[in-house]
A and B are shown apart, each in its own frame.
Chain A
Amino acid sequence: MFSKFKLGLIAFLTVGLLAACTTESPTSNGDDETDASGDDGEVHIGLAVSTQNNPFFVTLREGAEDKAEELGVEITVVDAQDDAATQLSSIEDLVQQDVDVLVVNPTDSEAVITAVETANEADIPVVTVDRSADGGEVVAHIASDNVAGGEMAGDFIAEQLGGEGNVVELEGIPGSSAARERGEGFHNSVDAQDGINVVAQQPADFDRAEGLTVMENIIQSGEEFDAVFAHNDEMALGAVRALESAGMDDVIVVGFDATDDAVEAVEAGEMDATIAQQPIVIGEQGIETALSIAEGESVEDFIPVDLELVTQ
């Protein structure tokens, strides 16, 4: 009898505990909303960048910071060091600070959802820049039109090769929207042309060292090719090093982002072209959009930023 009673008690407590579980944050009531934006009159924007190990995002951050200063907006920048968990933690910290608008440059479109939801629960509007989020409520997304950029690169390579040749594609971090969209645009262009074949397609994670290694391996494999398209400049510059050491200077290399290094390389003739994203403009747009939201104006849900082809 006694043990049955005990068992029943345990079962009751367990059920009780489970019933008490919730994914609702106990402090995420809408009340904060009014004091959130109203405490000192000045607008406070939180900017969460994915990494500062990549010049592109450094430029983006600088664009945002300069714009914020110009507009007289307070800005707090946190860096995720390319780790989704770190990004989540630092966004939670920004939410704790009661920022008025959150501008996020996600490390990973899927993993950022929790962070976006955290901000949503605290009624902080979210703007994504460069990479998008696959869930949560995002007011606006600001990015280069990556698909158009990819097409631009494909068209340029086809033109340089006279419509005939083999191409290697160095892909970005698998699953990132930039890799997806740039790849999509690129294939839109080259797959439509019978003379152009993509002979190798490998991820090098947007990283210069990785780009070098992957390119070396492809060269080692003995594959014949005439051009390389890399989803960003870092990988393209890595590839240039590999091609130089192999004495393959005539291979056409096209990058993406137009970082300072890449533009120099194009001017020096080491790279043939890069697609200029305008990270400064993306950063500026992010802050401008965030300010508009804070001031209650309505904004477009996708704000494309123009790209341009940089050649010698």
Chain B
Amino acid sequence: MRGQSLGQVMQKLGPVLGLLAIVIVLSIMSPQFLSLDNLLTMLRQVTIIALLAFGMTFVILTGGIDLSVGSTLALAGALTAGMMASGLDPILAVLLGVLAGAVMGAFNGVVIAKGKVAPFIATLATMTIFRGLTLVYTDGRPVTGFTDSQAFDLIGRGYLFGIPIPVIIMFVIFFILLLILKKTVFGRHVYAIGGNEEASILSGIKVNRVKIGVYSLTGALAALAGIILTSRLGSASPNAGFTYELDAIAAVVLGGTSLAGGRGWIFGTLIGALIIGVLNNGLNLLGVSSNYQQIVKGAVILLAVLLDRQKSS
């Protein structure tokens, strides 16, 4: 029994140890890596993928997948920018942008839960639809001309007590989601549905409602990521967030959440996103060519999954 629980602990610690190993190697190789300034920069870079991956964790825990988050990010970012450019109050525009993301997510959820369409197919379709809507809405051009709002600038570029505001947003949301998963009925139901959908239905869980909720949450988080990105860049590009869904899925998997659903934790996802962020940042600091960077990132993902297999077998 003791050996088993030790194994389980190792399984949970795996991602953290992996992150530590990468951090140690990078800090030896690059003197700038461990500076506070660089760490804050790195954390700020991670926020976008982390927010997408947080939502993705919920979706994957229910046994689903959401390929549309990158497109949702772009559309929500463009809508928010467009609303502000046409003179809407920035705070209202941000709220409406997040709401728009939630609606896009809810659409995914309804198609998957009520329409019984496989999540991969449903979100593959909406990925294209949302991207198309973004191109239609923006006419293929970046949306600009809203940068005079101080409040909006703060979201992506601001600091509070020296910490970038996106990083604060990321951690606040992380703790809220952590509590939702650990402490609420909704969170328990998310795990149950991923673990055994039949048993969940037979236990009286409103499976459809939970699924729609999960996809809406993911959509809202993707929209928030899009808004932060728009604020950082001062423009909303119609091809923003392209292939980000893959980075988000990678972060979830690196964190040890099972793609089969029912098993996983959001802390792991945070670590997974940090691994990706640290690699991006560190390899840039080392001056590694971007072509090689892609190979290194892919290899790390493979290695992580292989080690995970080894441990569980």
A residues neighboring B (CB under 8 Å): 17, 20-27, 52, 76-79, 81-85, 88-90, 92-98, 108, 110-111, 113-114, 134-135, 174-175, 203
Q: Do B235 and A22 touch (CB < 8 A)?
A: no
Q: Do A92 and B45 touch (CB < 8 A)?
A: yes
**A27 touches which of B36, B160, B289, B291 (Cβ 8 Å):** B36
Smallest CB separation, B293 vs chain A (Å): 8
Q: Do A114 and B233 touch (CB < 8 A)?
A: yes
Contacts of A108 in B (CB 8 A): 142, 233, 235, 237
A266 CA / B237 CA spacing, docked (Å): 35
Smallest CB separation, A172 vs chain B (Å): 11
Q: Count B interface residues, CB 8 Å.
A: 44
Contacts of B144 in A (CB 8 A): 110, 134
The stretch among B250-258, B264-272, B280-288, B302-310 that forms the contact with chain A is B280-288
Q: Do B289 and A79 touch (CB < 8 A)?
A: yes
**B37 touches which of A22, A27, A82 (Cβ 8 Å):** A27
Q: Do A114 and B290 touch (CB < 8 A)?
A: no
Q: Given contacts A108-B142, A110-B142, is CB(A93)–CB(B232) below 8 Å?
A: no
B159 within 8 A of A: yes
Interface residues of B in 139-166 (CB under 8 A from A): 139-142, 144, 150, 153-154, 156-162, 165
A17 CA / B158 CA spacing, docked (Å): 12
Contacts of A92 in B (CB 8 A): 41, 44-45
Q: Do A85 and B233 touch (CB < 8 A)?
A: yes
- Please give me the residue from chain B that is nearest to A175 by CB atom: B141
Q: Do B142 and A52 touch (CB < 8 A)?
A: no
Q: Given contacts A17-B160, A21-B160, is CB(A89)–CB(B280) below 8 Å?
A: yes
A108 CA / B48 CA spacing, docked (Å): 19
Q: Do B41 and A111 touch (CB < 8 A)?
A: no
A82 CA / B141 CA spacing, docked (Å): 14
Q: In the complex, which of the residues B158, B161, B235, B284 has the most CB atoms of chain A within 10 Å of its own CB atom?
A: B284
A90 CA / B161 CA spacing, docked (Å): 24
Contacts of B139 in A (CB 8 A): 174
**B162 touches which of A17, A26, A135 (Cβ 8 Å):** A26
Q: Given contacts A97-B32, A174-B141, is CB(A84)–CB(B154) below 8 Å?
A: no
Contacts of A79 in B (CB 8 A): 289-291
B240 within 8 A of A: yes
Q: Given contacts A96-B32, A98-B32, is CB(A78)–CB(B234) below 8 Å?
A: no
Q: Do A113 and B159 touch (CB < 8 A)?
A: no
Q: Do A21 and B165 touch (CB < 8 A)?
A: yes
Q: Do A94 and B235 touch (CB < 8 A)?
A: no
A78 CA / B286 CA spacing, docked (Å): 10
Smallest CB separation, B109 vs chain A (Å): 27
**B234 touches which of A94, A98, A114 (Cβ 8 Å):** A114
Smallest CB separation, A7 vs chain B (Å): 20
Annotate B202-240 by CB proximity to A: 1 below 8 A, 0 otherwise: 000000000000000000000000000100111101011
30 A-B interface contacts by CB (under 8 A): A20-B160, A21-B154, A21-B159, A21-B165, A23-B150, A23-B154, A23-B157, A27-B37, A27-B162, A76-B287, A77-B287, A77-B289, A79-B290, A85-B229, A85-B241, A90-B280, A92-B41, A95-B41, A96-B32, A96-B35, A96-B37, A96-B38, A96-B285, A108-B233, A110-B235, A114-B233, A135-B234, A174-B141, A175-B141, A203-B140
Q: Do B287 and A175 touch (CB < 8 A)?
A: no
A18 CA / B102 CA spacing, docked (Å): 26
Contacts of B32 in A (CB 8 A): 96-98
Q: Do B290 and A81 touch (CB < 8 A)?
A: yes
Q: Do B142 and A93 touch (CB < 8 A)?
A: no
Q: Do A96 and B235 touch (CB < 8 A)?
A: no
Annotate B30-46 by CB proximity to A: 1 below 8 A, 0 otherwise: 00100111101100110
- Please give me the residue from chain B that is nearest to A205 by CB atom: B140
- Give me the 10 closest cross-chain CB pairs, A-B, nearest first: A79-B290, A93-B284, A26-B162, A110-B235, A111-B233, A76-B287, A89-B45, A96-B38, A174-B141, A175-B141
Smallest CB separation, A217 vs chain B (Å): 15
Q: Do A22 and B158 touch (CB < 8 A)?
A: yes
Contacts of A88 in B (CB 8 A): 232-233
Annotate B189-204 by CB proximity to A: 1 below 8 A, 0 otherwise: 0000000000000000
A308 CA / B206 CA spacing, docked (Å): 69
Q: Do B141 and A26 touch (CB < 8 A)?
A: no
Q: Do B37 and A83 touch (CB < 8 A)?
A: no
Annotate B7-19 by CB proximity to A: 1 below 8 A, 0 otherwise: 0000000000000
A191 CA / B158 CA spacing, docked (Å): 47
- Please give me the residue from chain A that is nearest to B233 by CB atom: A111
- Please give me the residue from chain B that is nearest to A44 by CB atom: B287
Q: Do A114 and B157 touch (CB < 8 A)?
A: yes
Q: Given contacts A79-B290, A108-B142, A108-B235, is CB(A85)–CB(B158) below 8 Å?
A: no
Smallest CB separation, B198 vs chain A (Å): 41
Q: Given contacts A93-B285, A94-B284, A96-B41, is CB(A25)–CB(B159) below 8 Å?
A: yes
- Please give me the residue from chain A that is nearest to B236 by CB atom: A111
Smallest CB separation, B95 vs chain A (Å): 17
